[in-house]
Structure 1
Amino acid sequence: MTASIAYTAWFKAKETQALIAALEAARPNGSRFVGGCVRNTLMGREVDDIDVATQLTPDQVTEICAKAGFAAHPTGIEHGTVTVVINHRPFEVTTLRRDVSTDGRRATVAFTEKWDEDAERRDFRMNALYADASGAVHDPTSGGLEDVRAGRVIFIGDAHTRLREDYLRILRFFRFNAWYAKGPLDPHGLSACADLVAGLDTLSAERIWKEVKKLLAAPDPRAAWEGMTAIEARARALPEFSNETRLDALCSIEADLMLTPDPMTRIAAALADQDSARALARRLKLSNEERERLVAALGTDVKITSYMSLREMRRAIYRLGNQPFRDRVMLAWAGAGGEKAQQWRALVAHGQMWTPPKLPLTGDEVMAAGVPAGPKVGLVMREVEDWWIDADFPDDKLSVIERLKAVAQGMS
């Protein structure tokens, strides 16, 4: 079985060709593209990152790139990785490696010149595909090409061994199935994940959170998610997720209507309330922005219904903001079991199109109306703002000033 990626735009790009030419000039047949860029190209998917595996050492890569005028940064030098930047386009160039020892979280590696040794330390056969300078694809495991064509996620060699090397591969197994599988989960891989699921307890919060977000960004992760739940991987990694029914309904809505999924909305859907969102944020060390978004999505201070009028919708968006409003609409839609899709979808669309205006009133104008500086200025502004919201945000400065005068006079 043969394949080539020479036809693709990223492969033919001048930056890509300049890099591989420089590396090949130093050591012919010593560098190959590897991993996601090869896999995704063969599967007709978008390519985000370009990785290169090389028999050259990191020092040699750095020297070659300096002579060629490329920027080279030692971003993972202990593991043999140099990030090369050409015309603002980054490439990760990594020396071939073999594992010396592993503890289920990290590995000690040694450099090698053997392509099969480098392939053996990877997780899945579809991730161990290499493409040389001509674009020809090499398949050291003899199963990667078949897997990408069949849409199968199969561990390299013995699944238990691969998992003991890094227990994060349990979550990666489900994430890759969510993104790339065309059929059921590989039973041997699933069984190995079940046998070693306790290994998830050893992983750092940051690694778990990163994988969960990637998994839930897949167009339809339901089959993979069901597999996680069946072997209790979900319960171990994400004990705060208690609303499986709402998450499943949300995924169904997005898949049926081909809506672009947002992993943060899905995560909010799986949580019961704001307290569980805060608990998840603490345990998995979410950023402040991520925590605040989940908490806002699960708020109950503004009632969201499928039959909201445009005026009610605008009022809600003004109070909440566009993103929290969309999150709450999607959660309410999923909570309703996906019914009244046309009405909910219209709310989502209007919520994205309408930009909340700014109150056309300043503190200086309030004081010019006779209100003394101090707390009373804020009280008057809030009173005028409440009127302005109830009036559906009139773009009429004169009306706002007239209302200001009436409020100021009434408070004097």
Structure 2
Amino acid sequence: MKLPDAPWHQRPSLKKLVDALGGQKGMIRFVGGAVRDSLLGVAVKDIDLATILKPDDVMARLKEAGFKVVPTGIDHGTVTAVTKDGPVEITTLRRDVSTDGRRATVAYSDDWREDAARRDFTINALSADPVTLEIYDYFDGLTDLEARHIRFIGSAEQRIAEDHLRIMRYFRFLARFSEEKVDDAAYAACTQAAASLDSLSRERIADELMKLLATDDPLFAVSKMLDAGIFSHILTETDSRAAALLGQLVRREQAHDIKPLAIRRLVALLPKDTDKAVEIVTGLKFSKKIRRAVADRLAAREPTAVEIPALAYHHGPEAAHDIALLFAANDDLQASLSKLLNWEKPVFPIKGGDLIAMGLEAGPIVAKTLAKVEQAWIEEGFPDDPRIKELAKRIALRT
């Protein structure tokens, strides 16, 4: 079987790179996602190559061919070639010397099958000759790919023992490629080893979780993770009610043709108590930006369409949009989303000096009164002059 024709492997810069690394002599192959996704007819984002050449030789050959080369993972045999069509990663064939579930000590190899055997799933162990496009399949990955079956290479327990993060990767690939069925051996191994996730850095866990939530429909994978006890080691408050909210959210996104957003879906799985939710995402080492985004999206429960513009004003239109998708009643959802079309934040037209001109005494009372006027202005739908000035005057005179 051969790799189907695709624009990505016809790029002149890639052909030049392949030639420089001995492509005509079988010294290099396409590996990983580029092969898998091409066979599935999915757009290829990242191009990875494997080679029998040592990293120093790879760098020397590429520099001689005029490529800029960055030693991005030189300790593990990976360098990145910078081409005009984007970066290309090249990794020397490897075998594991030792692993502890978090990191591996590797040695270089010239055995293609040995290198493929250290990958996680059969569908990720496929490789292709960049010149002939002939596909190499050592573990029946083509059959699994056709069946959308996610299966570990060899012993699932052994693959997970080598790298505990493969538990999370299993469920991510289940969400992305599977037709709602699990591999019994893989699922049993993930369930049994769930506690090993506690040994991993929270950053790695969070990264995999967000990749999973960014898939088109993560609901089946999330429900299987709940059943397997995975979330007790990731998001401790997540339960079947959270999964139900995620399911409603996914259906709403699909019904309204709204692009999936991982942060929106993360909020569905978090406790609805803002302090608890922020505590959890802080523990997962999420950035301040994401922690703020979580807090903003928990600012209201069951908002009405009338309240949506105020939420947009305080938290931004993106947050208000997500609040509507997450928490608006079914009867209010369409109206809420419509309120945000082409929404621009209005400018509050009253200043402290305006209140003083209306008779308010200068001092701390001005700021307090201005806040009251702004809140009333928001509640009344952001009225323009002269209504806002009349509103401000009434409040100033009552103060």
TM-score with structure 2 setting the length: 0.89
Map Cα deviations across residues 316-366 of structure 1 (whole Å, 9 max, x no partner). Answer: 321232122122212214xx5xx43xx413422432531212224567877
Letter aligned with residue 291 of structure 2: R
Measured after TM superposition, the shift of residue 388 of structure 1 is: 4.0
Measured after TM superposition, the shift of residue 250 of structure 1 is: 2.2
Corresponding residue for residue 287 of structure 1: 287
Name the CA distance, whole Å, in 2 between partners of 1:94 and 1:240.
40
Corresponding residue for residue 382 of structure 1: 371
- Structure 2 counterpart of 1:177, from 147, 161, 174: 174
- Structure 2 counterpart of 1:321, from 311, 316, 327: 316
Corresponding residue for residue 350 of structure 1: 339
Secondary structure of 1:48's counterpart equals coil
Letter aligned with residue 131 of structure 1: A
Secondary structure of 2:166's counterpart equals helix
Name the CA distance, whole Å, in 2 between partners of 1:213 and 1:144.
26
Corresponding residue for residue 6 of structure 2: 8
Measured after TM superposition, the shift of residue 206 of structure 1 is: 1.0
Letter aligned with residue 62 of structure 1: M
Q: Would you say how many aligned residue pairs link Structure 1 and Structure 2?
A: 396
Matches within 5 A, 1:5-404: 5=4, 7-24=5-22, 28-87=25-84, 89-134=86-131, 136-242=133-239, 243-255=242-254, 258-272=257-271, 273-300=273-300, 304-305=303-304, 308-309=305-306, 312-333=307-328, 339-340=330-331, 343-360=332-349, 375=364, 378-379=367-368, 381-386=370-375, 388-394=377-383, 396=385
Measured after TM superposition, the shift of residue 376 of structure 1 is: 5.6
Secondary structure of 1:353's counterpart equals coil
Letter aligned with residue 45 of structure 1: V
Q: Which runs of 5+ in 2 are unaligned?
A: none
Measured after TM superposition, the shift of residue 238 of structure 1 is: 2.2
Map Cα deviations across residues 246-275 of structure 1 (whole Å, 9 max, x no partner). Answer: 223323433455532222111111222212
Secondary structure of 2:340's counterpart equals helix
Flag the 1:293–1:217 CA change in 2: closer, same or farther, 3 A.
Answer: same
Letter aligned with residue 187 of structure 1: D
Measured after TM superposition, the shift of residue 377 of structure 1 is: 5.6
Measured after TM superposition, the shift of residue 245 of structure 1 is: 2.8
Measured after TM superposition, the shift of residue 132 of structure 1 is: 1.7
Flag the 1:383–1:298 CA change in 2: closer, same or farther, 3 A.
Answer: closer
Measured after TM superposition, the shift of residue 70 of structure 1 is: 1.6
Name the CA distance, whole Å, in 1 between partners of 2:395 and 2:188.
72
Flag the 1:352–1:208 CA change in 2: closer, same or farther, 3 A.
Answer: farther
Name the CA distance, whole Å, in 2 between partners of 1:53 and 1:146.
23
Map Cα deviations across residues 116-147 of structure 1 (whole Å, 9 max, x no partner). Answer: 01100000011111122226142332411222
**Identity fraction in percent:** 38
Larger CA deviation: 208-217 vs 182-191: 182-191
Flag the 1:237–1:382 CA change in 2: closer, same or farther, 3 A.
Answer: closer
User: RMSD of the TM alignment (CA)?
Assistant: 2.8
Letter aligned with residue 332 of structure 1: F
Letter aligned with residue 34 of structure 1: V
Name the CA distance, whole Å, in 1 between partners of 2:219 and 2:191.
18
Measured after TM superposition, the shift of residue 182 of structure 1 is: 2.1
Larger CA deviation: 315-324 vs 380-389: 380-389
Map Cα deviations across residues 141-192 of structure 1 (whole Å, 9 max, x no partner). Answer: 2411222222111111121111111111111111101000124111121122
